[in-house]
Every structure is written in C-alpha cells, then in structure tokens.
Amino acid sequence: MTAAVNDHNISELTAFSRQLTAPQGFGDASLIAAAPGAIRLLGGIPAPEALPVEDIGRATAELWQDRDAAVASLQYSQTHGFVALRNWIAQREGVDPRRIVMTNGGMHGLSLAVLTVVERGAAVAVEDPVFPLFLRALEVSTTQTLPVPVLADGFDVDYLAGRLAAGERIAAAYIVPDFHNPTQVTLSADKRQALIGLAERYGFYVIVDNPYRELRFAGEEQGVAVFNQSDRAIHVNTFTKTLGPGWRLGWLVLPDHLVDPVIRLRNRGDSHSPTVTQTIVERLVTGDGQWFDRVLAHANALYRERAGVLIDALHEQLPGAFETQAPEGGLFLWPRLTDDNIDPDALYQRALAKGVAYQQGAFFAASPQRESARYLRFAFGDRTPDELREAVHRLALAF
C-alpha cells in the first residue's frame, strides 16, 4: 500500500466548510419545537391572508394552458435573470436593468455579496443588535465583526466614523435601513448619506439588506436612491416578505463594476433561479402595472392592524411592563422590559409553558453587552388579531 485510508473525520473537510458553525434551522429559534397549541410569534413570516394565492393560481393556470410558454418555463434560462422581470424591478429601483441580478431570495443575495467583496478574515461592521442570520451568511468569508450600536434613528454612523478615524479598517458595513430587524427603527436620510460618504472615503462596501422596505404602514420613507446611486452599495432585496418566502426569489441592485463578478460567481452555483418561478412572478408583476402595489396595500393594512392590536393588548394586559415603540412597518415589535429585576430567560421559559413563543432579545446581540437581552421580539405578521390578544394574555400569565 502506498497510502493509508484516511479517517472520515472533520479534518477532511475544506477550510471553507470547516469554518461554518452548525445551523439550528433556517431561522434558528424560529424553528424551535413549541408545544402543540403554542402561539408562535417567531419569524418574519408573511400573513397567509396577505399572500395573493388566487392571483397566483390564475397566473399559473394560464401558464400551463399555453403549451409553448409552459415548455419554455421548464427549460434553461440566463444567469442574470429574466429580462422583463429585471426591467420591472429596475424601474422601481430607478436604475439601469443591467444592474439588477436575480437571486434565490435575500439570504442568497447576502451570501453572493459577501463572497464577492469580503475577503477571508476581513472585518465587517454590523448593527448591534443584528439580524443573526447575516452573521451566519458572513461565515463564508469571515467571523470578524465590528459591532456598531443601533440608535433611535438607526446605525450609529458617527461611532463607525470614529473607529475608522482611529485606524480600523472594514471590508463592508451591513445595515437593514428600513424597519431594522429586530429594533424596527429606520435609518434617517441624513445618516444614509453619511454612511455612503464614509464608504466612499474609506473604500468599503455598504451591504444594504432591505426585505421589509415595501411593508410601510406609517411614517415617511427615507429613500434608497442614495444607495442605488453609489458605487459603494450593494442593495439586497427579495419577494420573500411580499409574495412569499417559498418562491426563493430576490434581486441585487449592484454597482456596475460588480455585475459581472457576481454573475461569474452565480454561474458556479445553481446557474440561474428557476425558470418556472421567474416565469410566474414575471407574469404577475408585469401583467398589470398596479397589481403589486395592490398586494402591498392589502398586506400593509393587515400589518398595521396587527401591530396596533399587539401594542394595545400589551398596554391593557401588561401596563407598564414594557417600553414599546410603535413600528412604522415591517413584521416585528421590539419591546423592552422595564423591570430590571425580571430574568428574561426565566420569563421566556414561563411564557413557553403558558403557550406563547417569541424570540429572546439576546439572540440578536452582536457583542457581549447584555442590553439586547432586556428586549423581546414579537413577530406579529402571521398571527391573527385574536391570536395576538390571546398571546399577550398568556404572556401576562407568565409575568
């Protein structure tokens, strides 16, 4: 024998693969096994009632009745993505359609962005608290983060500017500018401009993750043109929160110089998003120019009501227990426990025992500081008003 058989152990994996921590499900705690009958306030999941099932059924039926179109939907298509779909997105984003690259949803867009602009071992500025699945996507390149506090008007750009002025260097900054997950705050227009200014000055990229942007039911938009007009921003979006996560269909708005590199990378993965799903979604959004906005209006009315019901129930059933900021959009509430003597872990266990499951704030911490642990994240999107009232009733029992 010229060589011995290697053991089948972890050392045979690539360095790339070894550095990935074990997942705990798509959304980690989102997929915890809550007791039967528990009310789940867990994930950023669209309301079933907000999904345009009848319209999708109609568009799909039309597709399969047109044999040529049906066959085309079963064949290969281009990595860049469907042209009419990209044109429609480009018009809404205010950019040249060439700069739109279709993805398999927001996480996929984050992953492509990270692999393209974050060198192995480089540092990335992240919000604290942070959407924790971004940290997981980041692992394909690095685990080095620079946590930046989230203030009432979003990411603390001045804090980052100070760290950069002191000599720290980052490959990218990651932000969720609209209805930040989990805090729900929106980054102000001034700070958007200031952050892009820093990126241009110091030569890093801003990875702008914006899945909730279209779910606004109050307040004023702070604008995305500043991102879409910069060579320093990668703007990540998706149909996940509007037409449903099950499509796995999203898009990147890329600076012109990153279009080809991202397509090259995508070309080594699954080559292109499914022709079937792109065909159906393209038919839906381009068939009637007002359709998508009607879907949004219907959904946002629903989410406005649900957010209100949840806040009212907390005020009525648990007066004074939380500091609560009414969200202007999105799918989450992020209340802070007012009584510092309450142990959030014990409260969580009691709540589970009473039949209500939510995300603990500590899950979103990007640094060892314990402030996030004083918060709870309630996802209200896919719960009816009655379920939300009952959930708060159960939470009150846990107090």
The footprint of its own copies on this chain (CB under 8 A) covers a number of residues equal to: 98
Q: Between 20 and 301, whose beta carbon lies closer to its own copies?
A: 20
For residues 343-358, b (16+ Cβ closer than 10 Å) or e, as one string?
A: ebeebbebbbebbbbb
Using CB under 8 A, which of 104, 145, 181, 222 touches its own copies? 104
Q: Is 246 in the site for its own copies (CB under 8 A)?
A: yes
Cα–Cα distance between 180 and 45 in angstroms, integer? 15
Q: Is 83 in the site for its own copies (CB under 8 A)?
A: no
Q: Is 29 in the site for its own copies (CB under 8 A)?
A: no
- Report the half-sphere exposure of 330 (CA within 13 A, side-chain side): 28
Binding region for its own copies (CB under 8 A) out of 200-208, 295-303, 306-314, 343-351: 200-208
Tokens of 15: 């360095």
Choose among 146, 311, 174: nearest CA to 233.
174
Using CB under 8 A, which of 83, 94, 190, 203 touches its own copies? 203
Residues 151-170 that bind its own copies (CB under 8 A): 164-165, 167, 169
Using CB under 8 A, which of 81, 88, 102, 105 touches its own copies? 105
Binding region for its own copies (CB under 8 A) out of 94-102, 136-144, 312-320, 386-394: 136-144
Shortest Å, Cβ 251 to its own copies: 13
Q: Is 118 in the site for its own copies (CB under 8 A)?
A: yes
Q: Is 79 in the site for its own copies (CB under 8 A)?
A: yes
Q: How far is CA 264 from the centre of its chain?
A: 24
Shortest Å, Cβ 221 to its own copies: 26
Using CB under 8 A, which of 39, 95, 243, 331 touches its own copies? 243
Using CB under 8 A, which of 71, 152, 220, 320 touches its own copies? 71
Read off the amino acid at residue 128. Answer: D
Q: Between 111 and 210, whose beta carbon lies closer to its own copies?
A: 111
Using CB under 8 A, which of 81, 244, 330, 381 touches its own copies? 244
Any idea of the CA torsion for 383, 386, 390, 392, to the nearest 10 degrees? 70
- What residues contact residue 251 under an 8 Å CB cut-off, 6+ apart? 81, 86, 89, 100, 101, 102, 103, 109, 237, 238
Shortest Å, Cβ 28 to its own copies: 10
Shortest Å, Cβ 296 to its own copies: 16
Q: Which helix (H) or strand (E) holds 209?
A: strand 205-209
CA angle 192, 107, 219 (to 5 degrees): 40
> Which residue stretches of the chain are H helix?
15-18, 53-65, 67-73, 83-93, 106-117, 132-138, 157-165, 189-202, 225-228, 256-267, 275-287, 291-317, 344-354, 385-398
Q: Is 5 in the site for its own copies (CB under 8 A)?
A: yes
Using CB under 8 A, which of 33, 36, 37, 257 touches its own copies? 257
Read off the amino acid at residue 70. Answer: A
Q: Is 84 in the site for its own copies (CB under 8 A)?
A: no
Residues 30-49 that bind its own copies (CB under 8 A): 31, 43, 45-46, 48
Q: Between 48 and 94, whose beta carbon lies closer to its own copies?
A: 48
Residues 304-363 that bind its own copies (CB under 8 A): none
Q: Is 98 in the site for its own copies (CB under 8 A)?
A: no
Shortest Å, Cβ 41 to its own copies: 16
β-strand partners of 173? 125, 206
Using CB under 8 A, which of 81, 132, 182, 255 touches its own copies? 255
Shortest Å, Cβ 224 to its own copies: 20
Binding region for its own copies (CB under 8 A) out of 86-94, 104-112, 209-217, 315-323: 104-112
List, as one string, the DSSP characters of 20-37: SPPP-STTGGGG--PPTT
Choose among 131, 129, 121: nearest CA to 26.
131
List, as one string, the DSSP characters of 215-279: -B-SS----SHHHHT-TTEEEEEESTTTT-GGG--EEEE--HHHHHHHHHHHHTTTSSS-HHHHH
Q: Between 255 and 361, whose beta carbon lies closer to its own copies?
A: 255
Q: Is 270:104 a contact under the CB 8 Å cutoff? A: yes
Choose among 23, 48, 39: nearest CA to 245.
48
Using CB under 8 A, which of 29, 265, 352, 398 touches its own copies? 265
